[in-house]
Structure formats: structure tokens, C-alpha cells
Homo-oligomer: A and B are copies of this chain.
Amino acid sequence: MRTSIPETILVATLVASAALTNPAAAAPSAPWPPLPAEAPVPADNPMSPAKIELGKKLFFDPRVSVDGTVSCNSCHNVMEAGDDDRATSAGVHGQRGGRSAGTVYNAAFLSVQFWDGRAPSLEEQAKGPVTNAVEMGMKDHTVVVGRLAAIPAYVTEFEAVFGKGGLTIDNFAKAIAAYERTLLTPDAPYDRYMKGDESALNEQQKRGLQTVLETGCIACHQGATFAGVLPMGQGFYQKVPLIPGSVYDAKYDLLSDTGREQATKNPADRNMWRVPTWRNVALTAPYFHNGAVPTLDEAVRVMAKIQLGKDLTDAQVTDIVAFLGSLTGKFPQQTMPRLPGVEGKSVVPADPK
């Protein structure tokens, strides 16, 4: 969905639709179902414990960056909320990217990846940062595979999981994606509420939910992830700002990065962005594609203004922020991977460029 639909109509439709199909529809005005316990798994990348463990190692291994300093976890820190607390992330050689790292938690439920939606799957996403010059800085995928091939235990593990000749960039991505499909945060207060526990949300959070519905936020923040997954399974993009001209355009530099247009080269996609998830949003400050909005209350205020043309009261903002806190789920307890070593030498070049 690339064009804007009048929000009030859409919201009314969605809420009505949700009420009809939602098993917990008795809970008043809670439109989206609880987070599923498991993520969808593509047919060509079935899960296995060995694949997940290999993917976890790769996710944490800084040796897949040119100078051995940046791992997937550097910017998508699973010990925090799956991001990095920074406006934009730090890559190799002190470089800084232009967009804020999205959380890896529950990314497995998203139909497209990256702020501009340019990757249709976790597998495609995982192949990007390794060769991005300002992220991990590897020259190409051959170098990535060559680096891993220099670590004998990785060769063995790839072959155990994927068969002979299993160490390829596609299997690198598949293993990481399999691990990422375990990074789910179910059982948030919202989920318990939707399953019938009325006490799981406090009164303020319930007011916040009602305000979210009435204000129209869920026109875009759809589905169990509140991340705009349409029923037909397509990625959901939205123009930001939808109502340009506010003071926020300049204050938070909302227009200079043209978003999805950079991926599609289609002027109709200018300033279109994938709708970010609300899951764990209380823990993923700062906000927006460029991380320019420092606090969640300001993000709520700005979004209501630039997307829906509404000036929320401070009380409304506070209530919505309280509701958003009810989407902080339970993070999985994980064991640390042991990264395979190489005897007597480092696989990281002495002076990588």
C-alpha cells in the first residue's frame, strides 16, 4: 500500500474488522491479536537447533567486518532491545550510518526489512550490512565467505548444517535468519490483555489504547507487531510526513532522506518508509528513521501532528506512551555462543582498509 487512505475511514474499517475476527473481541477496543509464539518459517530455510546455533555465532562474530570490530549484534544488540541506543549506528573505521538501527526482535514477523523495505526477507537483509561500506565494510561477499573459510570450525559447522560445500553467502544468511526467528518477545502485558487478562493493562494503559484507536495511529501500525503488515501479507509503507509543512520537518530533518525512493528510484516512493513496529518501542529510543526524535513522548506528539494532523494534549501523549509500554515483551534468555577460534593467527588483516 503506497498511497494514503483517509485515516478515519481506514481506522473504522480495521477496528470493525478486528472486532469481528478477534478471538478476544470481548476486550473492548483492542484491535490486534497477541504476538504469535512462533515466527513464520520459509519453506526453503527450515529451522534446526544446529542452524540456529550457527546463526547465533555468526550474528555475534565481529570477524565478518573488515577490521573485526562490528558484528550484527553491535547495532542490533539482543542483550538490550535489539538495537543500539543511538540515533544512527557506528560502523567500521568510526563511520556513522544515515539511518537508525531497527530492532531485530520480532523482525521475523515483518514482511519487508530495512527502513526502505528493500529486503523482502530476513535472509536478504542479512546479506546487506556485511558489504555496506559504512557498516561492516567487506569488499564483497566472496571476502566474507573467505574470512569464514579461514576458520576451520565454521567450515565444519556449515557442512554439518547445509551439506558439503555448505559455506556460502546464502547459507550464511539462512543461518542468521534462522537465529533471528528465535528473537521474539511474546507475553507482553498487551498480549495477556488480549488473551483475556483484564488486569494486564492498568487504567492509564487502557486509556492510552483507546486514544490510539480514536486518534488513528493504527491506520498504519497494524497487526500483532503494530508494524503495518497488511492482511494480504505485503509490506506497508507510509509517507512521512503525510502532512508536510509543520515545524517538525526542519526540526527533525524529516525530508532530506527520501526513504523508499532511494531503493525503488520511483518518485512516488519519495519519503515513504516502512512502518516501524511498536513492539518494545519503549526501549528503542531514539526514534524515527534518522533517530532525530529523542523521546517516545515527542515521537508520539510529532507523529500525531505530521501524519494525522492532530495536536494531542499532554495527557493524551502520556496515556499513549503508557500503552506503548504495555508492548514490552519477554526477551528470551540465551546462552552466549562460543566463537570458533583459529590456532596461532588472526583471520583479521593487520591493517584492513
Contact = CB atoms under 8 A, between A and B. Distances in A.
B67 A285 contact: no
Interface string A285-306: 1100001001111000000000
Of A77, A291, A347, the most chain B CB neighbours within 10 A belong to A77
* Interface of chain A: mostly helix, strand, loop or mixed: loop
A91 to B, nearest CB: 9
B350 A294 contact: yes
Contacts of A90: 67, 69
A80 interface: yes
A344 B282 contact: yes
> How many protomers of this protein does the assembly include?
2
Nearest to A292: B350
A330 B74 CA distance: 26
B95 A77 contact: no
A346 B286 contact: yes
A61 to B, nearest CB: 8
B69 A86 contact: yes
Interface stretch (A31-39, A263-271, A333-341): A333-341
Given A296-B343, A333-B335, A343-B296, A348 B60 contact: no
A104 to B, nearest CB: 14
A339 B85 CA distance: 12
Interface of A: 60, 62-63, 67-69, 74, 77-81, 84-87, 90, 93-95, 282-283, 285-286, 291, 294-297, 321, 325, 331, 333-339, 341-348, 350
16 contacts: A60-B79, A62-B77, A62-B85, A67-B86, A67-B90, A68-B85, A69-B86, A78-B336, A79-B336, A79-B337, A80-B339, A93-B94, A286-B346, A286-B350, A333-B338, A335-B335
Given A79-B336, A296-B345, 10 more contacts: A62-B84, A67-B90, A86-B346, A94-B95, A286-B346, A294-B350, A296-B344, A333-B336, A335-B336, A336-B336
